[in-house]
A and B are shown apart, each in its own frame.
Chain A
Amino acid sequence: DTGVSQNPRHKITKRGQNVTFRCDPISEHNRLYWYRQTLGQGPEFLTYFQNEAQLEKSRLLSDRFSAERPKGSFSTLEIQRTEQGDSAMYLCASSFVVRPHGGDTQYFGPGTRLTVL
């Protein structure tokens, strides 16, 4: 068990560029979550997957944000046409859920820090 990994750890980009982040969950975890954390705030939920199915995406911040988990293993979060307001830490978490009950323990990765110039 190597924990949740995220790549890259840091990303600096220019406004208007597209960026993609990758998250590798703990193996055999069937749920994968994406959060955004800005300075002085707690993590803010963006979206989550149960295996390859994206069960909630209404919290994605705009239509510039999209996420995939094509084979139910790793996931990618893409931000198109980045804006300075997108600068934040993007966190990924995974968990194993036998039945939906909301009390699953989420294991977080170290995050990807995005800076948009």
Chain B
Amino acid sequence: EVQLVESGGGVEQPGGSLRLSCAASGFTLDDYTIHWVRQTPGKGLEWVSLINGDGGVTLYADSVRGRFTISRDNSKNSLYLQMKTLGIEDTALYYCATENSSGYFQHWGQGTLVTVSS
């Protein structure tokens, strides 16, 4: 069964850091471009970042560029999001998702909740 499981969320103070992980099972992650997408509680979806199969291409939304770093370890079939200088606006449910050959987000995890609060 294809599965993505995010972890690493929690409560952090403004200015703090968190590292999210996304573990894949049932398929080989390095065949895919992987994305982080977040959803503010009760609100819409916002794309955060992507990394291609070999990790050579990374892109970020303007709202997180310079603060977040996406990476992957294909040997561990895992994806990561290092988040620094967190602000209240970063409070959201963070999903990882695979992009398939037709260009859409095919597999999604269940999300991990990040709460930034003093």
Q: Do A and B come from one complex?
A: no
A residues in contact (CB < 8 Å) with B: none
